Every structure is written in structure tokens, then in C-alpha cells.
Homo-oligomer: A and B are copies of this chain.
Amino acid sequence: MTREECQHCDMQDPFRQHRERFVVPSGMIYLDGNSLGLMPRSVPKRIEQAMHQEWAQDLITSWNVHGWFQLPKIIGDKIARLIGASPDTVIVADTISVNLFKVLTAALALRRERKVILSDLGNFPSDLYVAQGLNRFLADGHMLRTVEPEQVFESISDDVAVVMATEVDYRTGRRHDMKAITARAHALGALVIWDLAHSAGAIPVALEAAECDFAIGCTYKYLNGGPGSQAFVFVNRKHHSSAEPALVGWWGHAKPFAFDPQWAPAEGLVRQQCGTQGMLSMQALDAAMDIWADVEMGALHDKAKALCSLFIELVEAACGKHGLRLAGPRDMARRGTHVSFHCPEGYAVMQAMIARKVIGDFRAPDLIRFGFAPLYNSYTDVFDAAAHLAEVLEKRLWDRPEHLAKKSVT
């Protein structure tokens, strides 16, 4: 494809107008929306209202008058539609790690006779830490069994209480077969927790069709909720009345304002809430989620696949001789929407790219990672990024000192 053909594709892009809803920094090719999504243009106005009117003037009455209490559920329903979940099964609260802890303990309590948590080495490390920290505290034989990502399916055995996996690998983009793993786990009596950090807003997810038990996910990547915006948690309706996390708090109480000294879980999903949530971050997220109202995930995924395929094709054609090698599967059905290449001197190469305002990430030991957020990334972004990468490698620009220092959050 030529650059002109890419421009033509951009003009035909059904999500062309969505890009307009974001602030795209001038001259920047931003391929790190899988780390921190761009700021939606609707956010500042919402936050100004939240500060100047709701907080400053209406103060505590805003919890009701401006619906602060309802936001976790309202936003949850907006996310639910994108991940194949029905209303009242997703709620927004806390962080991914905290939510994982809630559903992991809830799942373990539903499988008290089993002590094995099965996960894989492609899982985001923090998810593994959550299980390890819990096991260390319990000190009663609970253990985390980690296998290679490709071995998860075959490693499910009848001593496994919970299978815990991230659908899309934060490094390679490899995508698990959610339906097959969930079915196999259920057949062997285990429950399943899916981490959708690199899925939600990027690829179509069918949580309920796959009969998933629990899921957690991130809102500051493809959902563009802003730095550190609250995470979400999904609980399959069949577990609503039985899933009881070890970590609870007043927002999950049946009657929070009765101030009863005795814990009594609220009906359904609400008990997955715990403490009072930061409303500035949550308001930004709510404004960001409005962008998704008219987005059909199948069509969005089609665009994402096209962007990823094009990038792989362009990079392999122009950069193959420099030792680059695609990470993860080539089949678009088996990957998410970021693309990583094993790259000698990858860290320095990414620094050189960033110095040219092409923003991606480096992930040890040797991966350069490019995230394609189909809501706002264009075909021209893809073309230009590949051209920059070719030039950086061709001219050995990574071997020069004018590199920017940079670290990032996945």
C-alpha cells in the first residue's frame, strides 16, 4: 500500500469522525493507546462542571443530585455492551489488581475443596502478584501454578479451583481462546477469571456467550478514561448471589446508610464495590465512555485487524533485513490489536522512534510494541510509523545520543 492509498482508506473509514473526538497531539503518531488512551475532547468540560458546580457549589448533595453514587453502575453498563455482557453485570471500581483480588477470593470461596490457581507466564505480572500475595498470606496450601500460555488449556486439571488469565498478552498480543478454556475449566469443575485489560474497546469479547464466570479490566487504555481511571469488574449473573469477596466495604453493603455494624452484602453485583470512589477520575471516564455509544465492536475490530495487518506487512517488507521478527501469532483471530516485534537493540530503537514523536513502548527483553487504537488511529498513522521505523533502522538512528528518556505504564 502506498501513503496515498492509506489516505484513501482514512477517508472511507467509518470511524473517521471518532478520531475528531480526541485531542491528537500535533505532529505525534500515538501508538500507545494500549497504555494510556488519548484524551477525549468531551472530558475537560465535564471535569470543569464536576469541579466548579458539583464539588465547589453543590458539595455533598452531589452524591445524589448529580448521581455520583450511580456512576459505577452507569459506566459499567456502557462497558458491558462492548464486552458481551448484559446490563447489571459490570461495575466500575478501584483498580484491576483490587478487583482481581475480590473475584479471586470470591471464586476460591466457591471452590473451598481446591487450592490451585492456574495461570500463565503471559499474564500481566500484577495479576500473578495478586495470587502470590494472597497465597503467602493464607499459608494453607493455596498455590499458583503457572504454565506457558499455550499450555493453559491442557493444564486444567480437577484440582484447579480457578483459571486466571489475561485474554490478550500485554507483550506479544497473543489472544487466548476464551470460549475453549472456559468450557474446559467448567468441565473440570474450575471457575475462570478473565483479565480484559488489552481487550476491552479493542476486540469484540463475548463474556456471556462464553459463559465466563468473572472478568476484570482496565479503562485507561482503549477506553480512554484518563490516567489511572477506575477499573471494571464483571460477575456472571449466575454468581451474583453467591460470590462473596474477602475484601468488602460499605459501598457493597445492603444498606450503606443504615450504618449497621454488621456486614450484609448487597444483592447482586453491588457487593463488589468497597470504598468511596474518586469522582474526578470517574467523571472523566464517564465522559469518555459516551464516545462508544454508536460504536459496533465488530466493525471496529475489522478496522483494527486491517491496521495491524498493514503494519506487519509494511514493517516486514521494509525492516525484515534488520533482524525484526513478529511476536505472537500472525492470525488476526488469535491476537489483539497491538503488534510487537522482537528487535535487536529494541530499547534504543524505541527511544529513537519516540524522539521522532512516534510513540510506542519497549517491553523487555527485546520487544518494540505498537498499539493500534482503532477509534482514533488511522491508516496513515500506520504507514508513517512503519516508514519511521524503516528509517531509524536503515540509518542506525538508534545508535545516536539524541534519544528521549522514557518509561511508561502498560
Measuring CB to CB, which residues of chain A are less than 8 angstroms from any residue of chain B? 23, 25, 30, 32, 35-36, 38-39, 43-44, 47-48, 51-52, 54-57, 59-64, 68, 94-98, 101, 105, 108-109, 112, 121, 123-126, 128-130, 132-134, 136-140, 146, 220, 226-231, 244-250, 252-253, 257-263, 274-282, 284, 359, 361, 363-364, 404-409
Cross-chain contact A248 with B95 (CB below 8 angstroms): no
Cross-chain contact B23 with A39 (CB below 8 angstroms): no
* Closest chain B residue to A95, Cβ basis: B275
Which residues of chain B are within 8 angstroms of A112 by Cβ–Cβ distance? 139
Given A247-B101, A274-B95: A51 and B60 within 8 A (CB)? no
A30 to B71: give the CA distance in the assembly, Å.
Answer: 25
Cross-chain contact B244 with A55 (CB below 8 angstroms): no
Cross-chain contact B408 with A60 (CB below 8 angstroms): yes
Cross-chain contact B250 with A129 (CB below 8 angstroms): yes
* Closest chain B residue to A276, Cβ basis: B228
The 4 A-B pairs with the shortest beta carbon distances in the complex, nearest first, are: A95-B275, A278-B281, A97-B249, A137-B246
Cross-chain contact B275 with A278 (CB below 8 angstroms): no
User: Knowing that A62-B227, A278-B281 are A-B contacts, what are 18 other residue pairs whose CB atoms are under 8 Å apart, sorted by A's residue number?
Assistant: A25-B59, A51-B226, A55-B226, A60-B361, A61-B408, A63-B408, A94-B94, A94-B98, A97-B275, A132-B248, A220-B276, A226-B280, A227-B278, A228-B282, A257-B407, A259-B364, A278-B280, A281-B281
Cross-chain contact B95 with A249 (CB below 8 angstroms): yes
Cross-chain contact B278 with A126 (CB below 8 angstroms): no
Given A32-B59, A363-B259: A229 and B278 within 8 A (CB)? yes
Question: Which residue of B36, B94, B105, B250 is within 8 Å of A59 (Cβ)?
Answer: B36
Cross-chain contact A133 with B51 (CB below 8 angstroms): no
Given A125-B253, A126-B275, A137-B246: A51 and B39 within 8 A (CB)? yes
A-B contact pairs, 12 of them (CB 8 A): A23-B57, A32-B60, A47-B47, A64-B406, A130-B247, A132-B248, A132-B263, A133-B246, A134-B247, A229-B278, A280-B280, A281-B281
A181 to B135: give the CA distance in the assembly, Å.
Answer: 32
Which residues of chain B are within 8 angstroms of A229 by Cβ–Cβ distance? 278, 280
A370 vs chain B, min Cβ distance (A): 13
* Closest chain B residue to A22, Cβ basis: B56
A98 to B109: give the CA distance in the assembly, Å.
Answer: 19
